[in-house]
Amino acid sequence: MNAFSLAIKNLIRKPGRTAALTLLTAFLALSVFGGSLVVSSLQRGLHSLESRLGADIIVLPASAQSKVSFEKLLLQGTTGAFYMDASALDAVREVEGVEIAAPQTFLASLKADCCAVKVQVIGMDQETDFVVQPWIAQSYSRSLGDMDVAVGCKVEADVGETLRIYDENCHVVARLAPTGTGLDTAVYCNMDTMNHLLAAAEQKGVSHKITSDSEETISAVYVKVKDGYDIDQVNSKLNGHVRKATAVRTRSMLTQVSDSLAGVSRTVSLLIAAVWVLALIILLIAFAMMAAERRREFAVLRLVGTSRRGLCRLVLTESALCSLAGGLIGIGAAAAVVFPFTTLIETQLGLPYLTPDARTMLLLGALALGVTVLVGALASAWAALRLSRTDPGATLREGA
């Protein structure tokens, strides 16, 4: 017999009280871990979006719809296509302060017999691209060949398989790392492949031409500004110089996402804080009630020689065991709720959402467990202190 086994015996032989305390701490751990996981996933998603956009400015067709479609593509993975004349690329390059201008062309496949899946196809110029290729390089070391495609992690096609788009067979050569954004649902190819697919789409009645006689079209130009140039000024110049196009600072797009994310994070953080305070208060009440109920028991222990410190240690051991068990149950429950519903959460929030890696999740779990045990210890320490100061002789003579 020792202080630990005494604590265990008490917990086992008082199952109602133990279950109530464990449940309470489990609820606390669930909210802390679940909430932290969601906030961390959102932050990671934003960071991922930042690195995937990678450009200072994005030039899009002037129509109001194009910017909305582009944002929907980025955040929700909604397919869409908008075009401007390819001459816009030359106009962009003419503007002073533009270091790199990399064009992309978009094509949405159909949910029809001609296409295996409905996806966004993004064609990029491999010579100038500085956004997609570093990402592809993480999983594929070579350049994309003709009719080769790299697929986002949410596209249902494995490396080595053939993906049919507008009755053209594309070879899947790479599967890209997750970004937590709409880009995970897209398919990437070089410009030659894209031109081939555009022609095939044309035959199916899906036109990419702005006018009947226009030849080359593009959807977006990613711009990197030279060092020493003010991005806002370059952005203004682009808006003035490039006809029928709108230059948008990527930061402004990210700011909107970031603002939404900050709102969600604030709500979740407030929720965690509220649960934390509530749990602390309830635990304080629970331990105070327990202290009142166990006055005689602790008086007996004091009289058989337990020191005040020994008594505190006993109460803290009990609360630590309860909190630890509750913490593990809560974390397990949070994992069971959050992980299977990642897609649903992502869809509901409409924000980039990238689940943290195993190490970060372990850290978050340890943090949630630490917070839970700390709250349990804080609540019980007060009760333990009160109990240890009680006069044991007087308590036992009360005949309580």
Instruction: Give the residues lining the site for another protein (CB under 8 A).
Output: 1-2, 6, 9-10, 13-14, 296-297, 299-308, 310, 391-394, 396-397, 399
Least Å distance, CB 295 to another protein, is 11
Q: Which residue, 171 or 296, has its beta carbon nearer to another protein?
A: 296
Q: Which residue, 333 or 396, has its beta carbon nearer to another protein?
A: 396
Cα–Cα distances in Å, from 371 out to 23, 43, 63, 79? 15, 21, 51, 43
Distance CA 49, CA 260 (A): 14
Least Å distance, CB 391 to another protein, is 7
Least Å distance, CB 23 to another protein, is 20
Q: Which residue, 9 or 243, has its beta carbon nearer to another protein?
A: 9
Q: Which residue, 72 or 296, has its beta carbon nearer to another protein?
A: 296
Q: Which residue, 7 or 279, has its beta carbon nearer to another protein?
A: 7
Q: Which residue, 52 or 302, has its beta carbon nearer to another protein?
A: 302
Least Å distance, CB 398 to another protein, is 9
Least Å distance, CB 311 to another protein, is 10
Least Å distance, CB 17 to another protein, is 10
